[in-house]
Copies of this chain bind each other. A is one copy, B any other.
Amino acid sequence: MTSRKRLPRPRARMAAPLLVAALLTGALAAGAQTPSPEAKPRSMQEILDGSKAGDWRNLDPMRTLYMDLDAGRVVIELAPEFAPAHVANIRALAKGGFWNGLSINRSQDNFVVQWGDPAEEEKDRRPLSKGARAKLPAEFTRSNRNIPFTPLPDADGWARQVGFSDGFPIGLDTSDGTAWLAHCYGAVGAGRDVAADSSTGAELYVVIGQSPRQLDRNITTVGRVVQGMELLSVLPRGTGPLGFYEKPEQRVTIRSIRLAADLKPAERLKLQVLRTDTPLFAELVEARRNRRDDFYKRPAGHIDLCNVPLPVRTAPEPAPAAKPKR
Contacts and interface: CB of A to CB of B under 8 A. Distances in A.
Given A7-B114, A109-B229, A157 B158 contact: no
Q: For chain A, which range describes its interface: under 10, 10 to 19, 20 to 34, or 35 or more residues?
A: 35 or more
Residue from A9, A205, A211, A214 having most chain B Cβ neighbours under 10 A: A214
A211 B303 CA distance: 11
Given A194-B11, A229-B109, A120 B300 contact: no
Given A157-B154, A234-B234, A295-B194, A213 B300 contact: yes
A14 interface: no
A155 B304 CA distance: 12
A249 to B, nearest CB: 17
Nearest to A109: B230
A244 B319 CA distance: 34
Contacts of A109: 229-230, 233
A185 interface: yes
Interface stretch (A60-68, A235-243, A267-275): A235-243
Contact of A185 (B184, B209, B216, B230): B209
Interface stretch (A32-40, A83-91, A195-203): A195-203
Contacts of A264: none
Interface string A274-311: 00000000000000100100111110101110110000
Contacts of A247: none
The 4 closest A-B pairs by CB, nearest first: A5-B203, A5-B191, A230-B237, A157-B302
Given A11-B194, A213-B307, A218-B295, 11 more contacts: A5-B191, A5-B193, A5-B200, A6-B193, A7-B112, A210-B210, A211-B307, A230-B237, A233-B234, A234-B236, A304-B304
19 contacts: A4-B120, A4-B193, A5-B200, A6-B193, A7-B219, A11-B194, A110-B186, A157-B157, A158-B300, A158-B302, A209-B209, A210-B304, A211-B307, A213-B304, A214-B291, A217-B297, A230-B236, A230-B237, A234-B234
